Structure 1
Amino acid sequence: MKIVDVCAFYTPHGGGVRTYVEQKLRIAPQMGHEIVILAPGDHDEVIERGPQARIVRIRSPRLPVDRKYWYFADDNRIHDMLDAEMPDFVEATSPWRSARIVAEWRGSAPRSLVMHADPLSAYAYRWFGEIFSRPTIDRRMSVYWEHLRRQSRLFDFVVGANGDLTRRLREGGVSGTVTVPMGVEAGLFSPQRRDPRLRARMLEACGLPDRAGLLIAVGRLAPEKRWPLVIDAVNAASRDMPLGLVMLGEGRERRAILKHIAGNPHIRLFEPERDRATFATLLASADALVHACEAETFCMVAAEARASGLPVIVPDSGGAADHAAGGAGLAFASGDAASAASAIRTVIAQGLRPAATARGMDQHFADLFALYAKAAAHRRQAA
Structure 2
Amino acid sequence: MRIGLLLAESRGGIGQHVASLVPRFVSAGHEVVVCAPPGTAEHFEFGPATVVTQAAGLRGSDVIHAHGYRAGMTALRDRSRLRPLIVTWHNAVIAPGPRGLMMRMGQRLVARGADLTLGASSDLVELAKSLGARNAQLAPVAAPAMPRIRTPRADVRAALGLSEQQPMVLTVGRLAPQKDYPTLLSVATRVHESTPHAVFVVVGDGPLRDNLQARIDAEQLPVRLLGHRNDVADLLGAADVFLLTSHWEARALVLQEAMQVGVPVVATAVGGVPELVGDSAVLAFPGDADGLADGVRAVLAEPETANAMRTRGLELSARWMDEDAVAKNLLDIYAGLVATDA
TM-score, length of structure 1 as denominator length: 0.77
Amino acid at match of 2:272: G
Whole-Å separation in 2 of the counterparts to 1:321 and 1:260: 30
Which one-letter code corresponds to 1:218 in the other structure?
V
- The match for 2:291 among 333, 339, 360 is 339
Q: 1:325 and 2:278 equivalent?
A: yes
Asked if residue 103 in structure 1 is aligned to residue 76 in structure 2, the reply is yes
Q: Conserved in 2, the CA contact under 8 Å of 1:6 and 1:38?
A: yes
Question: How far did 1:30 drift?
Answer: 2.9
What is residue 5 of structure 1 aligned with on the other side? 5
**Code of the aligned partner of 2:72:** A
Is it true that 1:162 corresponds to 2:121 in the alignment? yes
State the distance in 2 between where 1:36 and 1:153 align.
25
C-alpha distance in 2 between matches for 1:335 and 1:369 = 39
The separation in 2 between residues aligned to 1:32 and 1:322, in whole angstroms, is: 34
Matched, 1:255 2:255: no
Tell me the amino acid that sits aligned with residue 198 of structure 1.
D
Query: For 1:314, what is the secondary structure of its paired residue?
Result: strand
Deviation for aligned residue 1:26 = 3.0
2:232 corresponds in structure 1 to: 279
1:74-153 correspondence to structure 2 within 5 Å:
77-79=54-56, 81-83=57-59, 86-96=60-70, 98-105=71-78, 106-107=80-81, 109-119=83-93, 122-124=94-96, 145=104, 147-153=106-112
Aligned to 1:61: none
1:183 aligns with 2:142: yes
8 Å contact from structure 2 (residues 19, 46) kept in 1? no
Task: Name the count of aligned residue pairs.
Answer: 326
Name 1:23's counterpart in structure 2: 20
In the alignment, structure 1 residue 201 sits paired with structure 2 residue 158 = yes
Change (3 A) 1:49 1:39: closer
Q: Is the 8 A contact 1:324 1:330 kept in 2?
A: no
Structure-2 residue corresponding to 1:138? none
Other-structure match for 1:307: 260
1:324–1:331 contact (8 Å) kept in structure 2: no
The residue matched to 1:262 in structure 2 has which SS? Answer: helix
Contact preservation (8 Å) 1:115, 1:297: no
Residue 27 of structure 1, CA deviation = 2.6
1:175 and 1:269, CA in 2 relative to 1: closer, same or farther beyond 3 A? same
Counterpart contact for 2:144–2:323, Cα < 8 Å = yes
Tell me the residue number matched to 2:340.
Answer: 378
Secondary structure of 2:279's aligned partner: helix
Distance 1:339 1:156, change over 3 A: same
User: What letter corresponds to residue 363 of structure 1 in structure 2?
Assistant: A
Aligned equivalent of 1:228: 182
Q: Which residue of 2 aligns with 1:237?
A: 191
CA contact (8 A) 1:214 1:243 kept: yes
Give the Cα–Cα distance (whole angstroms) in 2 for the partners of residues 196 and 363 of structure 1.
Answer: 31
Query: Could you tell me which amino acid in structure 2 is paired with residue 104 of structure 1?
Result: R
Tell me by how many angstroms 1:337 deviates.
1.3
1:55 matches 2:33: no
SS of the equivalent of 1:211 reads: coil
Shift of 1:144: 5.4
User: What TM-score comes out, normalization by structure 2 length?
Assistant: 0.85
Partners of 2:261 and 2:25 in 1: CA distance: 25
Of stretches 142-151 and 366-375 in structure 1, the one that deviates more from structure 2 is 142-151
Q: Distance in 2 between matches of 1:227 and 1:142?
A: 24
In the aligned structure 2, how far is the partner of 1:48 from the partner of 1:262? 38
- Residue deviations 1:360-379 (CA, integer Å, cap 9, x gap): 12222221221111101222
Judged with a 3 Å threshold, the aligned counterparts in structure 2 of structure 1 residues 189 and 325 are, in CA distance, closer, same or farther, namely farther
Q: Deviations over 1:287-336 (max 9, x none)?
A: 12111113222211111111111111111111333333132x11111121
Give CA deviations for 1:203-238 in whole Å, capped at 9, x if unaligned.
52xxx5312211111111111111111111122112
Q: In the superposition, relative to structure 1, how do residues 268 and 171 fare at CA in structure 2: closer, same or farther (>3 Å)?
A: same
Q: Distance in 2 between matches of 1:16 and 1:308?
A: 19
Q: Does 1:33 align with 2:30?
A: yes
Give the secondary-structure state (helix, strand or coil) at the position aligned to 1:153.
helix
Counterpart CA distance in 1 for 2:159 and 2:223 is: 10
**For 1:324-359, what per-residue CA distance to the aligned partner results, in whole angstroms no more than 9, with x for missing partners?**
3132x1111112111111111112222314132422
Q: Check whether the contact 1:203–1:212 (CA below 8 A) recurs between aligned residues.
A: no
Contact preservation (8 Å) 1:9, 1:17: no
Deviates most, 142-151 or 155-164: 142-151
CA distance in 2, matches of 1:158, 1:284: 37
Alpha-carbon distance in structure 2 between the residues aligned to 1:283 and 1:249: 14
Stretch moving more, 167-176 or 215-224:
167-176
CA distance in 2, matches of 1:43, 1:341: 37
